[in-house]
């Protein structure tokens, strides 16, 4: 699934920095949240396809896939993400149409038609310093709308959203943590260029 969104990998979370997790391990992800009304709209559509993960995952574009860290490293990670955000500026992003990673991975997604370069720059910068890791797949920004569903539901998602389109400004990205209940929740927002989200 390219760099997979938080909670949508079937594999174990990656370990940041190649270090063994301590007893106070947490699983985090970093992603660009899809703003209102598009984020909730796509979440509802995903739910309509029968994807049980939809209720646990805010609609997003992944920058850092699920990664296990030691809680003691969280401060350094937040400082790193602050520096990354300050080094970039808001940019436009347009979603259009659908794509799939099948048969390699059972995912159907809404495609990023404009703004891929900005996403890729953020991804590369986030995956450095205390979050350095080798990506499992080449990075391909996308918005998952169906994951691990029967083929007929995957086909339905691919067809029903083929004409989907949305455009918005990316103001920043968010640090998410995977809760014991399986829900991914934003913990902190990082503003590109140090601005304020509208």
Instruction: Give the domain CATH number at 164.
Output: 3.90.1140.10
- The pLDDT score that the predictor gives to residue 42 is 97
- The pLDDT score that the predictor gives to residue 107 is 95
Query: Quick one: 186 exposed, middle or buried, by C-beta within 10 A (0-12, 13-18, 19+)?
Result: middle
In this prediction, residue 14 has a pLDDT band, given cuts at 50, 70 and 90, of low
- Mind listing the pLDDT tens digit for each residue in 176-187? 999 999 999 999
Q: Is residue 197 part of a domain?
A: no
- Rounded distance between C-alpha atoms, residue 17 and residue 11, angstroms: 18
- Mind listing the pLDDT tens digit for each residue in 78-91? 999 999 999 999 99
Q: Is residue 2 part of a domain?
A: no
> Residue 22's domain spans which residues?
14-191
More confident residue, 135 or 189: 189
Per the structure, the count of domains in the chain is 1
- Rounded distance between C-alpha atoms, residue 162 and residue 178, angstroms: 31
Q: Is residue 6 part of a domain?
A: no
Q: Are strands 142-147 and 107-114 parallel, antiparallel or unpaired?
A: antiparallel
pTM recorded for the entire structure: 0.87
> Residues 171, 195: contact at Cβ < 8 Å?
yes
Mean pLDDT across the stretch 122-147?
A: 95
In this prediction, residue 22 has a pLDDT band, given cuts at 50, 70 and 90, of very low
Q: Is residue 101 part of a domain?
A: yes
What 3-state class would DSSP assign to 76?
A: helix
Is residue 114 scored above 90 in pLDDT? yes
- Mind listing the pLDDT tens digit for each residue in 145-167? 999 999 999 999 999 999 999 99
Q: How far is CA 77 from the centre of its chain?
A: 17
Q: Cis peptide before 90, with omega less than 30 degrees from 0?
A: no
């Amino acid at each position: 699934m390219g760099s997979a969104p938080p909670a949508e990998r079937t594999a174990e979370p990656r370990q940041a920095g190649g270090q063994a997790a301590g007893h106070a391990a947490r699983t985090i992800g970093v992603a660009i949240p899809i703003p209102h009304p598009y984020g909730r709209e796509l979440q509802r559509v995903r739910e309509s396809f029968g994807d049980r993960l939809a209720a646990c995952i805010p609609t997003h574009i992944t920058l850092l896939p699920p990664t296990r860290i030691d809680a003691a490293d969280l401060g350094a990670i937040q400082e790193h993400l602050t520096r990354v955000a300050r080094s970039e500026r808001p940019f436009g992003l347009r979603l259009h149409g659908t794509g799939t990673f099948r048969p390699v991975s059972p995912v159907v997604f809404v495609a990023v038609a404009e703004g891929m370069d900005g996403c890729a720059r953020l991804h590369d910068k986030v995956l450095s310093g205390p979050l350095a890791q080798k990506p499992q797949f080449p990075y391909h920004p996308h918005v998952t709308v169906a994951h691990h569903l029967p083929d007929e539901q995957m086909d339905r998602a691919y067809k029903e959203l083929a004409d989907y389109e949305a455009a918005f400004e990316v103001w920043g990205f968010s640090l998410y943590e995977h809760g014991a209940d399986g829900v991914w929740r934003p913990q902190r927002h990082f503003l590109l260029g140090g601005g304020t989200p509208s």
